[in-house]
Amino acid sequence: MTTHPDETTTTTTVEYAPEQPARLDWAKHAPEVYKAMVRLDTAVRKGLDHTLYELVKIRASQINHCAFCIDMHTKDALASGESVERIVQLSAWDESRHFYTAKEIAALELTEAVTVLTEGFVPQEVYEQAAKHFDEAELAQVIAAITVINAWNRFGVTCRMAPGHYQPVQYK
């Protein structure tokens, strides 16, 4: 603790762990791939509810432990009006279903099934539940959004992109 001579209060200095540097600036070294990913991501957003889009992005990023993408999509969701409470509960959405609509729950179930693939396939009941809440075009967009964030997560985790520096809607 340090005490400032002009103050009667004591402050505590917290020393955080050092930030790990990125392993590789993959976008710099594969610019055409990066540009193609950005175009793909832009196409995915069209026709999807923005809130649903960000929830899917955050949840897949949580599963994949992509800190950079969690940081980015959480900040974007908050900047667009999403509640802190719903974002905080997202990591345990299955026990916190009352925070989400039936459509969002179907999208989150599908996100987990597509992201994890522990059974080697997306279970029929998960797909059918999603199909009840989305028309075919919208369902195709949701599947695309899940697929694209999983690709971004692989870049982020493999290259160890550092979270904390992203500004809301920086890449929009």
How far is it, in rounded angstroms, from Cα 12 to Cα 140? 51
Mean pLDDT, the chain, rounded, equals 92
- Give 113's contacts (C-beta < 8 A, 6+ positions apart): 122, 123, 126, 127
Question: For the residues 144-148, what does the mean pLDDT come to?
Answer: 97
| pLDDT band at 3; cut points 50, 70, 90 | very low
pLDDT value of position 149? 98
| pLDDT band at 1; cut points 50, 70, 90 | very low
Query: For 58-96, what is each residue's pLDDT tens digit?
Result: 999 999 999 999 999 999 999 999 999 999 999 999 999
